[in-house]
Amino acid sequence: MYKQITALLLTATLLAVADPAAAQTQPPKLWDIGGAYAKQEIEILVTDGILTGYEDNTFRPNASMTRQEFAKVLAKAMKLEGDAAAAAKFTDVAPWARPYVGALVKAGLTQGVSATQFGAMQNITREQLAVFFIRGFGMEALANDLAMPSSFIDRGQVTGYAQNAVALAQKVGFLKGSASSTGYSFMPRGLSARQAVARLAYEFYNNRESYTGQFQTIRQAVDHLKQAEAVTNAAESYKLNMGMSVKMIDFSMHTDMINEVIVKPEYTMRITGTVTAPDGTGTLVSEPVESYVYKGYNFMRGVGGEWVSVELTAEENVGPSALSSVESVPTRYLAAYSTVAENEAENTVTITSKPSSSEYLSLLPPDLLEASGGEEAIFTNVIYTFVIDRTTHQFKQMHIVEDHGADAQTTIDVTFSDYNAVTDIIIPQEIKDLYAGMSAK
């Protein structure tokens, strides 16, 4: 009896420390993947040594995967060199997994769940997979720079540290989620079946260059747009009035406050475009729109061709940064839908989105997301084209097309002058005369 117990304990110990999916000289024929939806991906990854089955030649496609099992998959998919020493601080990692966990530590992809724990035997969650793969792509910094919400209907359940990675992985199509009548859900804290992990690992391993190309385009677009916005924000004429400075003068018995208005050089800008919408009979009618920012006023051509003027306040943004956003969305949010063209003189960023309701709303900040209720898209199609001077990084032109359903469209073309050396050459004489008459009153 004692020998039997000893033998059982020894067997249990060996099973506890052995690789549960140990590689063999010849890839085993896995007999339980015939009905798996990821059968092809599993077979390819097994042949390439990225995945292995269990000792009984099963893959267990619907079972969960532990964090240390996934560490092996990711390390092999990235072709990282094993480093058991780098995982020495983790007391919960099995000997077979230490080289792989250590490889991820050395590559900066993980720090574990605590100073001494990797969470090796914990089943990996879907949001953890998103973070690991985005780090594996080398795109964590881009995800954090964009800091945009995903459009998953359960995005509010994504843990804070994983939100940016989940959103970026969704934007490039690496994560799809599960379809429902109300949209796509991600179930961020749920567990992925081993075959689901296999499908993601296959995409990462075999189509990595394609995703890397998408990331590079986004990165390029973000860089161009941020540079242009930085130049705009730094321009002295970005706002018509920078506000009030207050001087305190003490007259012993009382204190008077004297307001001194600081007026920056006038910002001159022209906007032209066309608004197409159905009239009272349902017939589509196109009306030209034209407006100018001049001498602290916004002049707009109204119905009948007459000019209407609105005085701009000190706080109003009239520069391209204010125009290059949708509902106050930073342009970096839109970069995920971009293409980039470059030549010696200009960088052109074109952003095209043909979103469903939830996809479009994903461009909005979280507070607007919640306020909108996620019911319907504001635009069915949006195209933005930003032309940026390659030398000065200033916005030169913007072309905006917004489709508001099948029967309404807004098209706007904006041309900008040098923000700090504005000339009056684009201002029609009738506006100059109108302004002169207003000033004389």
Q: What percent of the chain has pLDDT over 90?
A: 43
pLDDT attached to residue 28: 62
**In the prediction, which pLDDT does 383 show?**
84
Length of the chain: 441
pLDDT category of residue 370 using cuts at 50, 70 and 90? low
> What own/partner pairs with CB < 8 Å and gap ≥ 24 does 161-164 have?
161/131, 162/127, 162/128, 162/130, 162/131, 162/188, 164/140
- Whole-number Å distance between alpha carbons of 206 and 186: 23
Are the C-beta atoms of 372 and 364 separated by less than 8 Å?
yes
Predicted local distance difference test score (pLDDT) of residue 102: 98
Task: Please answer whether residues 112 and 122 qualify as being in contact, where contact means their C-beta atoms are separated by less than 8 angstroms.
Answer: no
10 Å Cβ neighbour count for 291? 20
Query: How is residue 277 written in tokens?
Result: 């919408």
pLDDT at 435: 81
Report, as an integer, the average pLDDT of 173-200. Answer: 92
The SS3 of residue 438 is helix
**What's the pLDDT tens digit per position in 344-363?**
999 999 988 755 444 544 55
Q: How large is the C-alpha radius of gyration of the chain? A: 30
Alpha-carbon distance of 253 to 232, in angstroms, equals: 46
Q: Alpha-carbon distance 336 to 352, whole Å?
A: 9
pLDDT at 355: 54
pLDDT of amino acid 1: 36
- What pLDDT is stored for residue 284 in this prediction? 78
> Highest mean pLDDT range out of 109-118, 329-338, 368-377?
109-118
pLDDT digits (tens, 9 = 90+) for 384-394: 898 999 998 88
Q: Distances in Å between the alpha carbon of 350 and those of 97, 334, 386?
A: 46, 10, 6
Q: With beta carbons less than 8 A apart as the criterion, state whether 394 and 410 touch.
A: no
- In whole angstroms, how far apart are CA 92 and each of 121, 127, 318? 8, 22, 58
Measured between alpha carbons, how far is 38 from 176 in angstroms, rounded to an integer?
15
What pLDDT score does 107 carry?
Answer: 97
Dump pLDDT digits (tens) for 335-347: 888 899 999 999 9
Least confident of 65-74, 240-249, 263-272, 369-378: 240-249
Name the nearest CA neighbour of 268 among 387, 392, 415: 415
Q: Where are the alpha helices (DSSP H) in 336-420?
A: 357-361, 366-372
Name every residue whose Cβ is closer than 8 Å to that of residue 243 and which is 6 or more positions away in sequence.
262, 314, 315
Q: Where is 351: in which H helix or E strand?
A: strand 346-353
Tokens linked to 333: 């949010």
What is the rounded CA–CA span in Å between residue 211 and residue 204? 8
Give the 3-state secondary structure percentages of the chain, helix then strand then coil, rounded to 5.
35, 25, 40
Beta strands in 38-181 (DSSP E): 178-180
